[in-house]
Amino acid sequence: MTQKITLGIKELCDDAFTRIESVSAEDAIGMIDRDDVTFVDIRDVRELKREGRVPGAFHCPRGMLEFWIDPNSPYHKEAFAEDKTFIVFCAGGLRSALATDIAQRMGLSPVINLTGGFGAWRDADGPIDTA
């Protein structure tokens, strides 16, 4: 039997964008050294190895996000309990839009999507660690 998908990724992302705040790569670059901001990289570890990292970004694989945010989860990470602004990014800004939406729904605040993701960061000459 062929599956009939009734809600696609475009609709999911469009819906998320109605609820989340986003920041441009240029503006985010200006926030990289702020102590009150945590950059959250949700890309797969293979993407990190291939493309490099935003210096100081906290890596949280997308599949673990909800578990690491929830303080009642055995997988909770203290980084998500800090009183900071969280800027979430992926490679192109769509996975992070969905992740920002769910993090916000869970109560994480403030949480902001990086428009265009790591690709936009790179194209705006943001610093990148390749080691």
Which residues, in sequence order, are bridge partners of residue 114?
23
What is the C-alpha R_g of the chain? 15
Q: Collect all residues with Cβ–Cβ distance below 8 Å to 98 and sequence separation of at least 6.
A: 12, 13, 16
Q: Collect all residues with Cβ–Cβ distance below 8 Å to 100 and sequence separation of at least 6.
A: 16, 20, 21, 88, 111, 112, 113
Q: What is the pLDDT of residue 131?
A: 75
pLDDT tens per residue across all 131 residues of the chain? 799 999 999 999 999 999 999 999 999 999 999 999 999 999 999 999 999 999 999 999 999 999 999 999 999 999 999 999 999 999 999 999 999 999 999 999 999 999 999 999 999 999 999 97
Strands across the sheet containing 37-41: 21-23, 111-114, 85-89, 37-41, 58-59
**Total-model pTM:** 0.96
Which DSSP string do the residues of 65-95 spell out, in sequence order?
Answer: HHHHH-TTSTT--GGGGSSSEEEEE-SSSSH
- The distance of Cα 122 from the centroid of its chain, to the nearest Å, equals 15
CATH of domain 19-123: 3.40.250.10
Q: What is the pLDDT of residue 22?
A: 98
Domain ranges of the chain: 19-123
Q: What is the pLDDT of residue 80?
A: 98
